[in-house]
Homo-oligomer: A and B are copies of this chain.
Amino acid sequence: MERLFRMAEIGATKNGGVCRLALSEEDRIARDLFTEWAKELGCAVHFDNMGNQFASKAGYDPGAPSLLIGSHLDSQPTGGKYDGVLGVLAGLEVIARLREENINHKHSIDVVNWTNEEGSRFAPAMIGSGVFAGVFDAEYAYSQIDSDGNFFKEELSRIGYLGKSHDKRKYRACFELHIEQGPVLESEKKQIGIVTGVQGIRWYHITIRGQEAHAGPTPMEMRSDPVRKLHTIIADLYSLADKYQPASRLTIGSIKTDPGSINTVPGSVTLSLDIRQPDNNTLQLIHEEIENICTHKYKDTELEPIWHSPSVPFHKDCIEAIENAADTLQVPYKKMFSGAGHDAVCMSRIAPTGMIFIPCKDGISHNEAEYASPDDIEAGISVLYEAVKSIIK
């Protein structure tokens, strides 16, 4: 908790949050502090060509694959103290406990701080772990530009964290501890979420076309009003979400009328649609029903799929290690899917990976009001510690 509050001072905002954008001066200071702490704990510290930082505690078998623990130290512009930071500092805490308890372990441990997880300064999100896992190449990352016209590579170099190449080592396992960023654990009074995978996601734009007309002189029966169709399409979409409960999530985040004038019947309405489902087959069924609604049930409606990210299952060994740890410690837990993306999703492509969630107040994150209780943090780190110990021994 001391480290967490000390880290929260770097980029602290007025309302108790944090602004520590990737590759900013605040990011540099946070990285330097991470290095300082890691060295105090006897770790060797290095960083790679993406500025991803690794603090290593060697095991007794240099030939055995390492175990990775970590998350990220960058934040949203008005972010909180916990998102990402918790996962990095939990790694240091695990090392500190291993030292305190003088545990002899075979596998080395790397604690990682991934670069630019948030994606709020440089798109896309998870670019540091993404390059590490081979999702993107480094040149693609380097060419990203922030809103002030600064290149990723120049900024990485400016803060002194442009390393030479990336570490090709294979990992025995990867763990990430993170706040849930949703309300489920809090409401179900569970201290631990054992993340079994990340939901599949599909994004769409739906455009409903009508005929722009003056609100005054055009009788109702002579209108082709897209808002009249909008409400039945929305009803159909929510019915679809209801049909595929409990695991499906459907969000209409944006609705726009064109031209959007108070006294004009809109010529068209466009809505965004975000669908999430842990099971890829079910996600496909939902996709087909949406296609059916937009192309067959309604005329003059266009469905434009804009993104599809299939669900990613985490590794059974990692899930099992976390579950055993929670059982041993008698901490109430729940197996669940992650609704959002995390560095662990990238890592799951190249190593057995698992994630641990802890509750956050009211499910709020990416917000200065983000909060996780010391009790829940303690529970999360203890479960992580036990799971790690079971693998590195």
Contact = CB atoms under 8 A, between A and B. Distances in A.
Given A214-B339, A269-B255, A248 B220 contact: yes
Contacts of A269: 255
A187 interface: yes
A257 interface: yes
Interface residues of A, number: 60
Contacts of A365: 214
A174 to B, nearest CB: 20
Contacts of A264: 251, 253
Nearest to A199: B216
Contact of A260 (B217, B253, B339, B340): B253
B246 A263 contact: no
B274 A262 contact: yes
A228 interface: yes
B261 A253 contact: yes
B261 A254 contact: yes
A245 interface: yes
Interface in A270-284: 272, 274, 276
Interface string A194-234: 00000101010000000001111111111001011011101
A249 B222 CA distance: 11
A128 interface: no
A181 B214 contact: yes
A194 B88 CA distance: 76
What does DSSP make chain A's interface, helix, strand, loop or mixed?
mixed
Contacts of A16: none
Contacts of A214: 181-182, 339-340, 363, 365-366
A45 interface: no
Contacts of A232: 231, 235
Contacts of A221: 245-246
A98 interface: no
Contacts of A261: 253-254
B248 A254 contact: no
Contact of A182 (B218, B227, B272): B218
10 contacts: A182-B214, A184-B222, A214-B340, A214-B363, A235-B235, A251-B262, A252-B257, A253-B262, A254-B261, A263-B274
Given A181-B216, A215-B249, A215-B276, 5 more contacts: A216-B338, A221-B245, A227-B252, A251-B263, A255-B256
Interface of A: 180-184, 187, 199, 201, 203, 213-222, 225, 227-228, 230-232, 234-235, 238, 241-242, 245-246, 248-257, 260-266, 269, 272, 274, 276, 338-341, 363, 365-366
- List 7 A-B pairs, minimum CB-CB distance, nearest first: A182-B217, A216-B339, A217-B339, A215-B251, A231-B234, A216-B340, A262-B272
